[in-house]
A and B are shown apart, each in its own frame.
Chain A
Amino acid sequence: MKKQHLILISIALATGVVIGKYLKPQKDSCCRHRLGCCSKNSQISKTDPVYLRETQTLGHGLTK
């Protein structure tokens, strides 16, 4: 194998790692759908004001 090919392969691998780790779409971008992926402070709880709790509904009232 030529030296040039080895360099190309390592660049491709490094690019793959970067894309895989940092650039792929974040599936867990929404805390609401994947609990635990955000800090507790950033999650909306039952003690938060109504306007925050309403963001978790379809707009047809809060669940009891």
Chain B
Amino acid sequence: MYYNSGNYEAFARPKKPANATKKSAYIVGAGLAGLAAAAFLVRDGQVPGNQIHVFEELGLPGGSMDGILNEQRGYIIRGGREMEPHFETLWDLFRSIPTLEDASVSVLDEFYWLNKADPSNSHTRVIEKRGNQLASDGQLTLSRKAIEEIAKLVLTPENQLDNVKINQVFSDDFFKSNFWLYWSTMFAFEPWASAMEMRRYLLRFVHHVGTLQNMSALKFTKYNQYESLIKPLIKYLEDHDVKFQYNTTVDNIIVEQTGEQKQAVKIELTIDGNQQSLDLTPDDLVFITNGSITESTTYGDNEHSAPATHPIGASWKLWEKLAAQDSAFGHPAKFYQDIPAANWVMSATCTFKDDRIVPYIQKITGKDPYSGSIVTSGPVSIRDSNWLLGISISRQPHFQQQKPNELIVWLYGLFSDQPGNYIHKKITDCSGAEICQEFLYHIGVPENQIAEIAQTANSIPIHMPYITSYFMPRQAGDRPLVVPEGSSNLAFIGNFAETERDTVFTTEYSVRTAMEAVYRLLDIDRGIPEVFDSAFDLRTILSALYYLNDKKSLTELPLNQIEKIGLNAFLKKVHGTYLEEILKSQKLL
């Protein structure tokens, strides 16, 4: 397996790998990673579809990529995926997946056309004082000291950041900046999260520093991710005769070790309550989704809170059993134990039919939520919310079945251990209507209307005990390599598998690990698109410097006398050179 960038290999088709028709594949988990693995096995590995088996604990596919109309509760979205043009493996996959409406149009085509016609652009990124835009919204407000801390983190090699937390590398200066507010609420970083992952994010998305304020770089699907991405992918796989086995829990996978070699030899599973086992040969490939951020999710309703339970589910148990066999398979407890209380665990899906909230949404977003256009372009964050409440309103309808008078709003609170500002309870203890009331309060709805509007809405609180476990502080070896050293037929996929440079909590990471796993185990001879290389692009780095300083040129930077002398000497030296040309192109001169 090797990485590649550019068009030469991007459009090339690999030759059929040797023995592809002899191979069978067993995929644990029907989330995006598992489905992507199946698709790459079919498309690039050319393994017959009927020899690919997907085991799923639940009765439906999609994993965390959800969006469902529950007959009892109503519309439910646990979260929303933010995507960007440089999710290289994701788009490599979805260029080959036809849409359900028109087989001649790929999911990528649909996505591309839609986002061209209706691009993201956030009118207001942060509000405070009940619906008023933050005065400094649009600026990153980083002090020189904070910028130096960012630079220092980026320049620190990853192997020196074992178990380091974000609040160990940044000072108050940094946390008081709008940069941190934008960054933490956009990606769900908590102060105690992994500094190692924060560094990866800074490098991975350095090309987006200039759009953090308006989120114009983000792209969104037509409907929720389940309908727009998962359903077409399932159709593609079913058309290729891939076998899906739902209500099936994989309890253990026995791995035999001979010297340095590792081979999966048996799968122990429970199908509809019946224990079974499956003996494996070297031609049987196993792809395991280890861990899950949405496992053990509970739901409430308008009148009831979501039960705040956090049992360890099947995906974590399976990972534990594997880890007990070999230390190369990682340390799952690092991600599901000791999750801080000041943590994001709650989201809510509110369905409104009451038009009285429309003016408040229009005031904040500058958009008519019923126009069919993107409304918030990612989250609008409420700076003075004790829960650090965020609001996201996607294109409406967000579900194909949604009625024209229904408006769906997704809410999340990044701090679960504090009482709300209007509802004096922790978000974890609130019913759907109470969470809705807190939202209505913060967007400026008059207090005498709040209870009534919340009562007529249908709000579903959702408790996800492991939703931020990707971000737990970690060290090298806590996540198993996609293909552990010496493994001949076993791979790990999803956001708890280790691959270099890419960032967790992204659809891209799920697809990338799946692609790498399939290419490695089948020895597919085509380059995998590397993680977008903006961190190596001098133009991007210089542009980021310009935006981190809130659009200041080099000569406008607050420098001391010695630094000014140095800068002038530097500018004299580069005058009339290619370097000066680049500095000018990035507005630094």
Contacts and interface: CB of A to CB of B under 8 A. Distances in A.
A61 B341 contact: yes
Contacts of A57: 191-192, 342
Nearest to B152: A29
A22 B562 contact: yes
A4 interface: no
Given A22-B562, A30-B171, A62-B418, A54 B143 contact: no
B425 to A, nearest CB: 14
Interface in A1-45: 18, 22, 29-32, 38, 42-44
B184 interface: yes
Contacts of A38: 145, 171-173
Interface stretch (B2-10, B72-80, B380-388, B459-467): B380-388
A39 B110 CA distance: 51
- For B145, B171, B192, B384, the residue with the greatest tally of chain A CB atoms inside 10 Å of its CB is B171
Given A49-B383, A59-B192, A61-B342, A42 B181 contact: no
Interface in B363-400: 383-388
Contacts of A58: 192, 340
A12 to B, nearest CB: 18
A3 B171 CA distance: 48
Contact of A29 (B145, B388, B414): B145
A60 interface: yes
A60 B175 contact: no
A43 B562 contact: no
Contacts of B143: 42
B177 to A, nearest CB: 10
Contacts of B190: 54, 59
Contacts of A22: 562
Given A56-B167, A58-B192, A59-B190, A50 B418 contact: yes
Chain A binding surface SS class? loop
B415 interface: yes
A29 B143 CA distance: 13
Contact of A44 (B172, B387, B562): B172
Contacts of B170: 30, 55
Q: Which of A29, A31, A54, A62 has the most CB of B within 10 A?
A: A54
A54 B143 CA distance: 20
A51 B145 contact: no
Given A59-B340, A59-B343, A61-B417, A54 B173 contact: no
Interface centre among A18, A50, A51 (most CB of B within 10 A): A51
A18 B561 CA distance: 12
B176 A44 contact: yes
Contacts of B383: 49, 51
B341 A29 contact: no
Contacts of A42: 143, 145, 172-173, 176
B310 to A, nearest CB: 15
Nearest to B173: A42
B523 to A, nearest CB: 44
B173 A51 contact: no
B172 A60 contact: no
Interface of A: 18, 22, 29-32, 38, 42-44, 48-52, 54-62
8 contacts: A30-B171, A44-B175, A50-B415, A51-B383, A51-B415, A52-B176, A59-B341, A62-B342
Leading 7 A-B pairs by shortest Cβ distance:
A59-B340, A59-B192, A55-B191, A55-B175, A30-B171, A51-B388, A59-B342
Given A55-B170, A59-B191, A62-B417, 12 more contacts: A29-B171, A30-B170, A38-B171, A42-B172, A44-B175, A44-B176, A49-B384, A54-B191, A54-B342, A59-B340, A59-B342, A61-B342
